[in-house]
Amino acid sequence: MRGSPLAQAVLVVVALLLLVIPLHRLTQKEQRPAPQTAVSTPTKQVHLALRTTAVPCRFQITFLGKTLWAEDAATPELAKDFDIDFPKEGIDLVVDATWESKALAAMEITLSLPDGTALHQTLWGQGTASDVFTFREE
């Protein structure tokens, strides 16, 4: 290489500075407005039924971080209807149960859809139990 090392360094710095502008444009996200078409999930009237092997039982069912149903059950069977956003991927319900008895107990959760489909899940525990159940149409 011929020429002054200082001149070479200046040329390299100038060449790199000229590359900064195109590189900056290529690596920055383009700010586009979000599309206004919001996809809404269909709301369905579902029937939720609980059966427990031990009473009294305290339970809480949470959906999307909000308490959907909480009760002190004095009977082994309870049921309630809800309007729930039910996407095709299904829904997740967090079920927490506490039984006074420390013996092994179970709780069956049945979710019935308007078309007659019944989906079942079972929760087992000794004194307490907690789990996340996914209900999805098949």
Question: Residue range 38-43: average pLDDT?
Answer: 65
> Is the pLDDT assigned to residue 80 strictly greater than 90?
yes
Per the confidence metrics, is the pTM higher than 0.95?
no
- Nearest alpha-carbon partner for 82 in 123, 106, 50, 121: 50
Q: Which residue in the block uniquely carries the two structure tokens 């959760």?
A: 109
CATH code of the domain occupying 43-135: 2.60.40
Whether 112 contacts 46, CB under 8 Å:
yes
pLDDT digits (tens, 9 = 90+) for 108-138: 999 998 888 899 999 999 999 999 999 988 7
- pLDDT of the residue at 44: 82
Backbone angles phi, psi at 94, to 5 degrees: -95, 125
pLDDT digits (tens, 9 = 90+) for 12-23: 888 888 888 887
The residue extents of the domains of the chain are 43-135
